[in-house]
Amino acid sequence: MKLEHVALNVENPVEMAQWYVNNVGMKIVSKQEVAPFTHFLADDSGRIMIEIYCNPTNEVPPYRSMNALLVHLAFVSENPDNDKDRLLKAGATFDNEVRLDNGTLLIMMRDPWGVAIQLCKRAKPMLLDKEV
């Protein structure tokens, strides 16, 4: 089996989807123009998606106050420092960074809605560029 997507109940999926398209390079694969405004966003590999929607019958998690290690979206970044600066200008906020002894750099940020995002530059990439 392959992972298709991870879903998040968020406060404003329409604006959030556009932010991820404009600033992270995601593509909208599918969207609903009516509530719950479900958007499926694919990464540039087209192999994994995030689903965002606003379902008012369920609680939107308090992303802003949650520890970033509880839930975060991790993105491979070739230049995390540049991406951090660019995302800060786009409304993200900085949380922390970890530089591991092996050369891995992990920068934790939050998007404008408080969802934690991690910029990952691993010393040894963990994802394969081709299907196994």
Judge whether residue 79 has pLDDT over 80: yes
- Predicted confidence at residue 52, as pLDDT, reads 98
Q: What is the pLDDT of residues 1-40, one digit of tens each?
A: 989 999 999 999 999 999 999 999 999 999 999 999 999 9
Q: 1-58 and 61-132 share one CATH topology?
A: yes
pTM above 0.85, yes or no: yes
**What is the CATH code of the structural domain delimited by 1-58?**
3.10.180.10
Distance CA 31, CA 38 (A): 5
Q: What is the pLDDT of residue 131?
A: 53
The domain segmentation of the chain, as residue ranges, is 1-58, 61-132
CA-CA-CA-CA dihedral for 64, 42, 48, 116, to nearest 10:
-10
How much is the average pLDDT of 37-65? 95
Higher pLDDT, residue 130 or 45: 45
Hey, which CATH number is domain 61-132, 1.20.210.10, 3.90.226.10, 3.10.180.10, 3.30.499.10?
Answer: 3.10.180.10
